[in-house]
Amino acid sequence: MRFAGFARMGDFNARIRDLKASLVPRGVDGLLVTDLANLRYLTGFTGSSARLLLTKRGDYFFTDSRYRLQASAELKGLKVRIRENSFEQVAGIVGRLGLKRLGFEGGSVSYDTYRLLKKSLSGVRLKSISGVVEGCRCVKDTEEVGLIRRAVEVATKGFKAVERRGVAGRSELDVALTIESVVKKAGAEALSFDTIVASGERSALPHGKASGRCIRKGDLVIVDMGVSVDGYKSDETRTYAVGKATKRQREVYSIVKDAHDRAIDAIRAGVRARDVDRTARGYIRKAGYGRCFGHGTGHGVGLQVHERPFVNPKSNDVLEEGMIVTVEPGIYIPGWGGVRIEDMVLVEKDGCDVLTGGSKELRILR
């Protein structure tokens, strides 16, 4: 039997080792990992129900009978013991190992689960240390970059199919369907999110999921789409004009394009993410459209389509070599339409590598 994560062992043991080394200074003697993307990052497990307990005296993976076989295949080579997933099991092991302060991921544990955990672990101090695995996930290794590059390649086939076939006279849903069928045939295991196809006035909706609206000549069409390959996501946006482009459409497009290019030029290791945001935002504001750009300039992409680092005005993240972030400024004008251009870039020492290559000049589709 072959499961998605089985073919690649990655360096899961090393990831777990590095994470455990960072626990001591945080004042805990164990960590209970419950977030599914974090579990996948640390172990390669692709199922939807599991917990991972990391301690100085051994690591334990808890899952239920549905995933028993899958877990033993996907976790092969990993130094973890597999146990039945229940609070009693976790509590029994925590007690046996004599753990006093257990870290947990407060951001992914519901209040009810927390209460159950607290009850079954009486005598153990629970400390929320959210974000520690997410921090490790920010910088991608070669294998992760390779998977993201493949996801981008597959997604490009979806965009090309739309460009070849044209969009005029078709519904947004129909265009989204073309994309979905092309990328799935090309090797996408899933879409990163519901494909956004927003045309005409609807292009003023930054997250306008494809609707039944018929795309007409003279529209702007935002297509924002990504695919998942072996768990790793892509995310890219192109905005097209249909049949022709008016002067104002070209004008707005070129402001967004310049903001996008400037932000990409500002990216390199050591730069604060908020400064990249300020570059794009400042440019759009000066052009008179500050109020039409409400969202962040970008975000990290990996096992999740939105993850750290965040490129927005409030971000405290500093870009490092090996991080992958999007650059996606936009201008949205209610009643008129909108433009967004989104690329994914790999942060390098002296600049960045644009993963979603190809020209981002305004294209006019049939």
Interacting residue ranges for Zn ion, rule: CB under 5 A: 224, 235, 237, 326, 342
Pairing assessment for the beta strands 337-340 and 343-347 based on DSSP bridges: unpaired
Residue 225 · residue 236 · CB < 8 Å: yes
Min CB(148)–Zn ion separation in Å: 13
The length of the chain is 366
CB of 329 to Zn ion, least distance (A): 11
Q: Dmax of the chain from CA atoms?
A: 72
Which residues, 6 or more positions from 9, have their beta carbon under 8 angstroms from its beta carbon? 44, 76, 77
DSSP 331-355: EEETTTEEEE-BEEEEE-SSSEEES
- The residue among 53 and 196 lying less far from Zn ion, judged by its C-beta, is 196
The helix, strand and coil proportions of the chain, stated in percent and rounded to the nearest 5, come to 40, 25, 35
Which helix (H) or strand (E) segment holds residue 233: the answer is strand 232-233
H/E stretch holding 285: helix 273-286
Backbone CA torsion sign across 115, 121, 122, 127: negative
Q: How far is the CB of 342 from Zn ion (least distance, A)?
A: 5
CB 279 within 8 A of CB 258: no
Task: Give 45 or 293: the residue with its C-beta nearer to Zn ion.
Answer: 293
CB of 135 to Zn ion, least distance (A): 20
Taking the least distance from each CB to Zn ion, the nearer of 235 and 307 is 235
Taking alpha carbons only, the member of 293, 301, 227 closest to residue 260 is: 293
Torsion of CA 227, 230, 233, 236, to 10 degrees: -40
Q: Residue 207 Cβ, how far from Zn ion at the closest point, in Å?
A: 9
CB of 140 to Zn ion, least distance (A): 16
Query: Of 109 and 325, which has the nearer Cβ to Zn ion?
Result: 325
Question: 20 or 306: whose CB is closer to Zn ion?
Answer: 306
In the bound state with Zn ion, the residue whose beta carbon lies nearer, of 180 and 235, is: 235
Do the Cβ atoms of 152 and 344 come closer than 8 Å?
yes
Contact assessment for residue 50 and residue 35, using Cβ atoms and an 8 Å cutoff: no
Structure tokens at 56: 């100085």
CA 262 to chain centroid, in Å, comes to 23
Q: Please state, in angstroms and rounded to a whole number, the distance separating the CA atoms of residues 169 and 163.
A: 14
Min separation Cβ 127 and Zn ion, Å: 32
Q: Nearest distance from residue 115's CB to Zn ion, in Å?
A: 35
Q: Which is nearer to Zn ion, 237 or 279 (by Cβ)?
A: 237
Residue number, 54 or 327, with CB nearest to Zn ion:
327
* Rounded least distance, CB 191 to Zn ion, Å: 11
Residue 174's SS3 state is helix
Closer residue to Zn ion, CB minimum distance, 206 or 231: 206
Q: Do residues 198 and 215 make contact, with C-beta atoms less than 8 angstroms apart?
A: no
